[in-house]
Structure 1
Amino acid sequence: MIRILLADDQSLLLNALATILGAEDDITVAATAVNGAEAVEKARVHRIDVAVLDIRMPVLDGIAAARAIMEMGPRVIMLTTFDDDVLIHSAIDAGVHGFLLKDAEPDVLAGAVRAVAHGESVLAPAVTGRVMQWVRGGAGDPDAGKRLDELTARERDVLAEIGRGATNAEIAATLFIAETTVKTHVSSLLSKLGVRDRVALALLAQRAGISS
C-alpha cells in the first residue's frame, strides 16, 4: 500500500484529491494539510511514501516544505498551474520527483503517485513545455551534445519517451521491451548524460528536440 500526504490550501481541491486517490486500491491517504508547515509536521508524525504538495501554500511554501519532507525520506510530487514558472524552476533545483498540473486526470494523478513511489520521476508534458523556454534560455552544458551522440539508438528511444512524460511501464509497452530493460536504459542514461534524475532527463530530451 502506498501511503500519501496531500497538502493544498484550497479545501475543495484537497478534498477532491483525497477522494480520487483514496479510492485507489493500492493508495491510502495517510494525512492531509492546508499549508506547508502543517505538511512538514504531518510528515513527521505519519509514515508516508509520497507527498503531493501544492507549489504555492501559506505559512511555508511548497518548495520549502518539499525540501524538509524529502530530508525525512518521502518522495515529493508538486502540483502546479501554468503561471508558476519561477516556482517550478526552484522546485527543479530542489530535486523534487515530479510535477503535475492541478487539473490532471484522476488516472494520470494515480499513475504518477505509483511511479514516484516506485522510484521513478514524473514530469507532465504540459509542464515540460511550459518550462522549456527557461531551460533553452540558459547556456546549458557544452558537453551535453557530445554525450547525446554517445547514446545507442534504443537509449535515444527511451530518452524520447521520458521527454514525453511516459512512465517505465508505458515506455516498455511502446517500445515492446521488458520494464526491467527500460530501467536498465534509464540507469545508463543517467550515467552517460551526467544528470541526477528523470526530471532532468525529460528536460534534456525536450531541450535537444528528441521528444518533439
Structure 2
Amino acid sequence: MIRIYIAEDQGLLAGALETLLSLEEDFQIVGVGKNGAQAYSFLENHSVDVVLLDVEMPELTGLDVLEKTTNQHAKFIMLTTFSKPGYFRRAVEQGASGYLLKDSSSDFLAESIRKVDAGEKVYAPELMTVFFSDLVPISERERLLLKCLESGMENKEIAQELHLSKGTIRNYLSDLFHKIEVKNRTEAVSLAKTNGWI
C-alpha cells in the first residue's frame, strides 16, 4: 500500500485528487493539506511514501517544504500549472522525484506515483522541453540577492545578511542587473518571479 499525502491549496482540485487516487486499490490517502505550513508540519510527524506537493501555496511554497523537510522516507512529486524553468530546476536540485503539470491525466498521475514509489524519476515531457530551452541564467548567490530584494531589503541590510560589504553588494547588484537586462530592483524582482527564479 502506497501512503500518499496531498498538499494543494485549491480545494476543488485537492478533493478531486483525493477522490480519484482513493479509487486505486494500492493507494491510501493519509492526509490532505491546504498550505505549505500544514504540509511541512504533517511530514515532520507522520510516515508517508509519496507526497503530491503544489508548487505555489500560501505560507510555505511547495519548494520551501521540499527544502525544509527532514522526512527522509517520503518521495516528492511537484504539481504545477506553470512550466517555469526556475521552479523545475530548484525542485530537481532539492531532490524532487517527479514534476508534473496539474492537467495531467489521472492515469498518468497514478502511474507516476507508482514509479516514484519504486525509486524512478518522472518529469512531464512539456517541462523537459522548457527546461532545456531556457536554463536558469543566475547563480545561487544571485538568487539570494533577488530574494533579499523581494523582501525590500536595502544594500546595508543585504550586506549584513550575506556577510559582505555594502560596496560588494552594490557591485553584485550592478552586475546582476546588467546580466538579466533590467534597470532597477523592481524590474529585477518582477522578472525573477515571472521566470520562477525566486
1:77 and 1:136 map into 2 onto residues whose CA distance is 21
1:126 and 1:21 map into 2 onto residues whose CA distance is 23
**Partner in structure 1 of residue 117 of structure 2:** 117
Which whole-Å deviations, capped at 9, do the CAs of 1:17-63 have from their partners, x for residues lacking one?
Answer: 11111110001110110111100111123321010100111101101
Which whole-Å deviations, capped at 9, do the CAs of 1:114-145 have from their partners, x for residues lacking one?
Answer: 0001111101111111212124979xxxxxxx
- Structure 1 stretches (4+) deviating beyond 4 angstroms? none
Q: Give SS of 2:60's match.
A: coil
**Partner in structure 1 of residue 184 of structure 2:** none
**Partner in structure 1 of residue 149 of structure 2:** none
* 8 A contact 2:43–2:71 mirrored in 1: no
| TM-score of the superposed pair, with normalisation by structure 2 | 0.65
2:70 and 2:110 map into 1 onto residues whose CA distance is 20
**Over the residues paired in the alignment, what is the CA RMSD in angstroms?**
1.9
1:70 and 1:55 map into 2 onto residues whose CA distance is 18
Letter of the 2:65 counterpart: A
Q: Percent identity?
A: 37
- For structure 1, the 5+ residue unaligned runs are 139-212
* 8 A contact 1:10–1:34 mirrored in 2: yes
Shift of the 136–44 alpha-carbon distance from structure 1 to 2, 3 Å rule, reads closer
Larger Rg: 2
**Partner in structure 1 of residue 34 of structure 2:** 34
**Partner in structure 1 of residue 90 of structure 2:** 90
1:102 and 1:63 map into 2 onto residues whose CA distance is 16
* 8 A contact 1:56–1:62 mirrored in 2: yes
Is 1:59–2:59 an aligned residue pair?
Answer: yes
- For structure 2, the 5+ residue unaligned runs are 139-198
Q: Superposition pairs for residues 42-53 of structure 1, below 5 Å?
A: 42-53=42-53
* 8 A contact 1:82–1:127 mirrored in 2: no
2:97 and 2:128 map into 1 onto residues whose CA distance is 13
Instruction: Name which of structure 1's ranges 22-31 and 122-131 shifts more when overlaid on structure 2.
Output: 122-131
Letter of the 2:43 counterpart: A
| TM-score of the superposed pair, with normalisation by structure 1 | 0.61
Letter of the 1:86 counterpart: G
1:122 and 1:36 map into 2 onto residues whose CA distance is 22
Q: Give SS of 1:72's match.
A: coil
**Partner in structure 2 of residue 106 of structure 1:** 106
* 8 A contact 1:101–1:124 mirrored in 2: yes
